[in-house]
Amino acid sequence: YSKPSQKGVYTHFAAIANATDLPICVYDIPGRSAIPVETETLLRLSELPTVKGVKDAKGDFAAASRLIAETDLAWYSGDDPLNLPWLSVGASGFISVVGHAAPRELAELWDAFDRGDIERAREINAQTLIPLAEQQARLGGVTLAKEALRMQGIEVGDPRLPVLGADADELEGLRLTMKKAGVLKE
């Protein structure tokens, strides 16, 4: 909303990193913050001892590949349709919305990729995770996560305004997608 400078972004994260011994994960989500965290800023942040990871929803594979190679930062896909491509450039894992609906399948995707079974990883991605990511694009992340968990018997309450829960048609679409993806047993 406020579109800070990169110096402001660095100063903000550095203040947090210097205030705790806990590990810090930089969220780089330009769709939410209106600005990316630039490569040079991430390089500077990686020098701080408590900055340990990045959630990347920017999708700049070239810049991230350099940072993965040059830093000790753990790199996490922050955009579910890009989970599999992120693994191919060295990502550590995922900070996922779709994982609320399909945690086992997301773990299985990582495991398949890790053992070199790219065919199985692509199958899980195409048959389970991408259809759920498409539902997320329609419903929004909070609504998808809450409704998917509720359908699996985990009550998590309703979203807070201005985010709304799904209407009857959206719920049915999500239910059908989850059933076809094999993550909802009825």
Cβ(79)–Cβ(95) under 8 Å? no
Q: Is position 55 annotated as part of the catalytic site?
A: yes
Query: What is the spatial distance between Cα 82 and Cα 71, in angstroms, rounded to a whole number?
Result: 21
Q: Is position 10 annotated as part of the catalytic site?
A: no
Candidates 3, 7, 27, 58; catalytic one:
27
**5 backbone dihedrals φ, ψ, rounded to 5°:** -70, 165
Query: What is the spatial distance between Cα 72 and Cα 60, in angstroms, rounded to a whole number?
Result: 18
Instruction: Give the CA count within 13 Å in the CB-facing half-sphere of 73.
Output: 28
Tokens of 123: 């199958």
Instruction: Give the CA count within 13 Å in the CB-facing half-sphere of 65.
Output: 8
Candidates 55, 58, 76, 146; catalytic one:
55
Cβ(13)–Cβ(38) under 8 Å? no
Instruction: For the beta carbon of residue 12, count every other beta carbon within 10 angstroms.
Output: 12
Cβ(124)–Cβ(105) under 8 Å? yes
Which of the residues are catalytic? 27, 55
